[in-house]
Every structure is written in structure tokens, then in C-alpha cells.
Amino acid sequence: MTDAASRPARFGDYLELTKPRLSLLSVLTALVGYLAARPAFDPVKIGLLALGTSLACLLYTSRCV
């Protein structure tokens, strides 16, 4: 039996469930929106914005599966 349902899961299968391109698009959109407001450059805030947005995307995509 070489049915798709009987083959073992690979790392690529799990990666596909996280929808990395959609998550990257959301993070980049949040960063562009933040930088469009022209705040003072603060790498900590930018890093926390990227981290928080990516965690929110990860939680949302894992909930939708």
C-alpha cells in the first residue's frame, strides 16, 4: 500500500501545516506598518513586534488545523 494516508509524516508535512509563507507575509506587513508610522528606531520594539506577530500567526494556524 503506497496510499498517501499510510505513509509516515515527514518534517515537510508539519512545516506545511504552519503556513510559513502566510505567516511571513503577516510579519512583514506588521513591520512595514510599524515603520510607515516613522517612530524612533528602537530595535527591541521591532524585534518584539516581529516575535509577537509570528507567535500570533503560529497560534492561529495551529488552531485552524
pTM: 0.68
Number of CB atoms found within 10 A of residue 17's CB: 13
> Among residues of the chain, what percentage have pLDDT more than 90?
35
Q: Which residue's entry shows cell 510579519?
A: 27
Cβ proximity of 41 and 6 under 8 Å: no
| pLDDT at residue 3 is higher than 70 | no
User: In the prediction, which pLDDT does 2 show?
Assistant: 56
User: In the prediction, which pLDDT does 59 show?
Assistant: 80
Read off the pLDDT of each residue in 42-62 and give the average, rounded to a whole number: 88
Q: How many angstroms separate the CA atoms of 55 and 9, rounded?
A: 24
19 pLDDT tier (thresholds 50, 70, 90): confident
